[in-house]
């Protein structure tokens, strides 16, 4: 009879031999540490600058097409033309952003991004747990957004000038484009590109440096605050703060860059699907539903911790780096292992999630 202790026995994930170590490229100490707080602020403002440069570059390109067509040039006509090309502007801007981020991260981390970011494949069990996190995490972020908007609208009544911040709300842009834009294009612009670019910057580069210097709890918190600030609108920043913390948590527990990237994409894709669904909309969540969705989130985060990936030396002793880091050393032969969770327990975690979905369905 298999006991829970047997089921939780560590299973081999990947072994790094002496040959792997000899062929690995050791970055300089500057690249290995990652950015400190001052440099992290430059990265934060730099991402905004990349977005701006992308918009200006694509707008300039589209304007030149406008001129080549021989259409009489005037400011109003150009603005109307650019508004009609909103999808091209957003797609081009995201292309410039992601390309710039990849180049800068490759330079800053000393090349070999796959090794620096710990881009190891996810086992199916972790993929299942990450997928189960999408709805609870998205629901809680949406609730933060709803509470924040109530306070924000009250504040605007007293300070009307703050209404200018509403132009930075990505959800407003998404909803305005959803009627006449193909789903694949919306997913590419609002889910794939932002997830890739933002994860490289905040989890891969900024988080790397702050955690190395300040440790896991404080490094993750500050990185998540910077991630929230990057979304500009105060209410949007409040809504994505818990998501930033969870994204870094799954990065640490799985030791794979694919984990936060996958969860970030799924969260954005879920938001796109909700924005394009004519019957979807904000619904008040009762206290019992809150309990179930919170319990579901806590359960799956706990399961990820139980099954977290650990580094074990060839003598069987678990290895812990002297400074917090997800990058494996080039001087210590290691095996990556993770514990297997009984599937009955994993599926049992779905009970509160299914209860929450049933409660939501009853409200519609």
Mean of pLDDT values over 336-341: 82
Q: How far apart are CA 57 and CA 60, in angstroms?
A: 5
Residue-level pLDDT at 264? 97
More confident of the two residues 33 and 47: 47
Q: Express each pLDDT in 126-146 by its tens digit.
A: 999 999 999 999 999 988 888
Residue-level pLDDT at 43? 95
pLDDT for 121 beyond 80: yes
pLDDT for 220 beyond 90: yes
More confident of the two residues 7 and 163: 163
- Bridge partner residues of 312 (DSSP): 318, 335
Are 329 and 27 in contact by the 8 Å Cβ rule? The answer is no
Q: Express each pLDDT in 269-326 by its tens digit.
A: 998 888 776 555 555 667 777 888 888 999 999 999 999 988 888 877 887 777 777 7
Neighbours of 299 (CB within 10 A): 22
Residue-level pLDDT at 17? 45
Are 205 and 109 in contact by the 8 Å Cβ rule? The answer is yes
Q: Where are the alpha helices (DSSP H) in the chain?
A: 4-7, 18-23, 29-33, 37-68, 75-84, 86-108, 113-116, 124-158, 170-177, 183-187, 193-198, 207-214, 216-229, 234-254, 258-276, 287-306, 343-348, 350-363
Mean of pLDDT values over 231-241: 88
Q: How far apart are CA 132 and CA 21, in angstroms?
A: 36
Residues 6+ apart with CB under 8 A from 199: 247, 257, 260, 261, 264
User: Which three-class secondary structure state does DSSP give residue 338?
Assistant: strand
More confident of the two residues 50 and 281: 50
CA torsion angle 156 162 166 169 (round to 10) = -110
- Strands 10-15, 309-313: pairing is unpaired
pLDDT for 236 beyond 80: yes
Residues 6+ apart with CB under 8 A from 200: 101, 102, 105, 113, 117
Mean of pLDDT values over 147-163: 80
**Rounded to the nearest 5°, which phi and psi values hold at 152?**
-65, -45
Which range has the worst mean pLDDT, 13-27, 90-104, 286-300, 346-360? 13-27
The percentage of residues in the chain with a pLDDT greater than 90, rounded to a whole number, is: 35
Q: Express each pLDDT in 26-42 by its tens digit.
A: 566 666 678 999 999 99
How far, CA to CA in Å, does 102 sit from each of 108, 116, 324?
10, 13, 23
CA 250 to the chain's CA centroid: 10
Output the DSSP codes for 115-149: HHTT-PPPPHHHHHHHHHHHHHHHHHHHHHHHHHH
Residue-level pLDDT at 166? 64
Whole-number average pLDDT of the chain: 80
pLDDT for 172 beyond 50: yes
């Amino acid at each position: 009879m298999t006991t829970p202790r047997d089921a939780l026995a560590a299973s081999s994930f990947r072994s790094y031999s002496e040959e792997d170590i000899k062929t690995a490229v050791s970055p300089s100490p500057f690249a290995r540490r990652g950015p400190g707080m001052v440099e992290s602020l430059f990265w934060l403002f730099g991402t905004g600058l990349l977005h701006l440069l992308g918009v200006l570059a694509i707008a300039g390109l589209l304007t030149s097409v406008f001129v080549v067509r021989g259409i009489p040039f005037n400011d109003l006509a150009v603005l109307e033309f650019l508004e009609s090309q909103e999808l091209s502007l957003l797609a081009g801007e995201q292309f410039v952003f992601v390309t710039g981020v990849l180049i800068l991260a490759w330079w800053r981390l000393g090349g070999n991004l796959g090794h620096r970011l710990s881009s190891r494949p996810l086992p199916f069990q972790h993929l299942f747990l990450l997928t189960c996190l999408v709805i609870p995490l998205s629901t809680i972020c949406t609730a933060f957004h709803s509470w924040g908007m109530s306070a924000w609208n009250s504040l605007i009544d007293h300070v009307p000038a703050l209404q200018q911040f509403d132009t930075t709300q990505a959800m407003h842009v998404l909803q305005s484009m959803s009627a006449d834009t193909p789903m694949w294009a919306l997913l590419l612009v609002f889910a794939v590109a932002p997830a890739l670019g933002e994860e490289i910057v905040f989890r891969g580069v900024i988080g790397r440096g702050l955690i190395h210097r300040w440790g896991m709890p404080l490094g993750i918190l500050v990185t998540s605050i910077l991630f929230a600030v990057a979304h500009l609108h105060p209410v949007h920043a409040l809504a994505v703060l818990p998501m930033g913390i969870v994204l870094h948590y799954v990065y640490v527990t799985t030791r794979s860059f694919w984990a936060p990237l996958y969860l970030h994409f799924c969260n954005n894709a879920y938001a796109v699907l909700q924005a394009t669904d004519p019957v979807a909309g904000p619904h008040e969540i009762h206290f019992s539903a809150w309990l179930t969705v919170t319990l579901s989130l806590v359960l799956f985060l706990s399961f990820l911790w139980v099954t977290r990936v650990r580094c074990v030396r060839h003598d069987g002793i678990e290895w812990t780096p002297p400074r917090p880091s997800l990058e494996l050393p080039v001087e210590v032969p290691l095996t990556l292992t993770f514990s297997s969770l009984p599937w009955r327990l994993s599926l049992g975690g779905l009970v509160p999630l299914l209860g929450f979905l049933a409660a939501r369905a009853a409200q519609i």
